Amino acid sequence: MKATAIAPSNIALVKYWGRRNDRLVLPYNGSISVSLNDLFTRTTVEFSSDFKEDIVVINGEVAEGEKFSRVINFVNMIRDIYSIDDHVKIVSENNFPTSAGLASSASGFAALTLACSKALGLNLSDKEISILARRSGSGSASRSIFGGFVEWHRGNRDDGTDSYSEQIVDEKYWRDFRIIVSIVAKSEKKISSARGMKYTVETSPFYKGWIDSIDNDLKRIRSGILDRDIELVGSVAEHNCLKMHSLMLSTVPPLIYWVPGTLQVIHTIHKLRDDDLACYFTIDAGPNVKVICSKNDVKEIEDVLTDKCSIEDIIVTKPGKGARITNSHLF
């Protein structure tokens, strides 16, 4: 009844922003991401009738309040579906700096889903695990089940059985693809993505335009990935990110995740591009900027970013493996 899983963080090239069904975590639009080799969560889960209560420890601290309930609500859903009565102990650690403003929900909930399914002997397929992970607090966790480049299908059914993630190509397909994670601020965001996207759907006058433009972005990114075309993937990803941030800015109340350092990196990337370097940015629901480029250009871009921008930390990473079981337990 004890199992440990590792799952990667992922960065969306076509973003997920908006749910058509909150309870089932069904998105309004499909999304495509890359799973990251160097940012992951390890989670050990044990169910036992000997435990008197549920306990959750995240990065060495006993989780309380909203952090605890977000995890336990998901475990309760699994316990309900599979008629489990036992209490659970969950210990989870990120290998990347904590509260660095990097999305940890996707890797965290993907690792939790896989570890729970293994600990309970559920024998689920990858597709079923991805559907279960989708129903956690973090929809993008469904993408972290797979390695390399991954598409989360929007699906059309009301019951969500066709809204799951699938690998496009594995982590070895595009060996030169790199992401430079530039950390410009380490504060935790005030509004969660789930709440932010709900406000956007309800109030942004531009939401229809976003939805209408998604299929074309998905098509172009898919083809760019298959052709290993950094200009195509980078330019479509950057435009998609700016469209998502236009939605955020036009939400009531506005979601302004950028800080001055964010704009410094944006302008520096555009300047590098004017100088013919193929580099593009993408930004999620936070201030930090992820730069998409080829392996050979990493050093030059890193040097310029460090020199011109107020950067607290830089992590260079590449496409990595999907969620997997390991024997190295955390307790």
User: CB of 159 within 8 A of CB of 26?
Assistant: no
What does the DSSP 8-state code read for residue 163?
-
Cα dihedral 191, 320, 322, 65 sign: negative
User: Under the criterion CB under 6 A, does residue 105 sit at the interface with ligand 2P0?
Assistant: yes
User: Under the criterion CB under 6 A, does residue 106 sit at the interface with ligand 2P0?
Assistant: yes
Using the minimum distance from each CB to ligand 2P0, give the nearer residue, 47 or 144.
144
d(CA 255, CA 204): 11
Using the minimum distance from each CB to ligand 2P0, give the nearer residue, 285 or 292.
285
Show Cβ contacts of residue 192 under 8 Å, excluding neighbours closer than 6 positions: none
Torsion angle (degrees, nearest 10) of CA 14, 211, 142, 229: -20
Cα separation of the two ends of the chain: 13
d(CA 121, CA 2): 10
User: Under the criterion CB under 6 A, does residue 221 sit at the interface with ligand 2P0?
Assistant: no
Q: Please select the residue that binds ligand 2P0; options are 29, 92, 163, 193, rule is CB under 6 A.
A: 193
Q: Of all residues in the chain, what percent are helix, strand and coil, respectively (each to 5)?
A: 40, 25, 35
What does the DSSP 8-state code read for residue 319?
B
User: Under the criterion CB under 6 A, does residue 13 sit at the interface with ligand 2P0?
Assistant: no
User: Under the criterion CB under 6 A, does residue 151 sit at the interface with ligand 2P0?
Assistant: no
User: Under the criterion CB under 6 A, does residue 200 sit at the interface with ligand 2P0?
Assistant: no
Residues between 114 and 143 with contacts to ligand 2P0, criterion CB under 6 A = 138-140
Show Cβ contacts of residue 298 under 8 Å, excluding neighbours closer than 6 positions: 178, 180, 316
Using the minimum distance from each CB to ligand 2P0, give the nearer residue, 99 or 296.
99
Compute the least distance from the CB of residue 303 to ligand 2P0, in Å: 28
User: Under the criterion CB under 6 A, does residue 74 sit at the interface with ligand 2P0?
Assistant: no
Lay out the site mask for ligand 2P0 across 40-69 (x = CB under 6 A, - = otherwise): ------------------------------
Compute the least distance from the CB of residue 309 to ligand 2P0, in Å: 21
DSSP three-state, residue 243: helix
| Residue listed under structure tokens 């090239």 | 13
User: CB of 257 within 8 A of CB of 248?
Assistant: yes
Compute the least distance from the CB of residue 43 to ligand 2P0, in Å: 15
Q: Please select the residue that binds ligand 2P0; options are 31, 144, 165, 182, rule is CB under 6 A.
A: 31
Residues between 273 and 292 with contacts to ligand 2P0, criterion CB under 6 A = 284-285
Torsions phi, psi of 299, nearest 5? Answer: -60, -50
Compute the least distance from the CB of residue 85 to ligand 2P0, in Å: 29
Please identify, among the stretches 54-62, 188-196, 212-220, 308-316, the one whose residues bind ligand 2P0 according to the rule CB under 6 A: 188-196
Binding site for ligand 2P0 (CB under 6 A): 12, 15-17, 31, 103, 105-106, 138-140, 192-194, 284-285
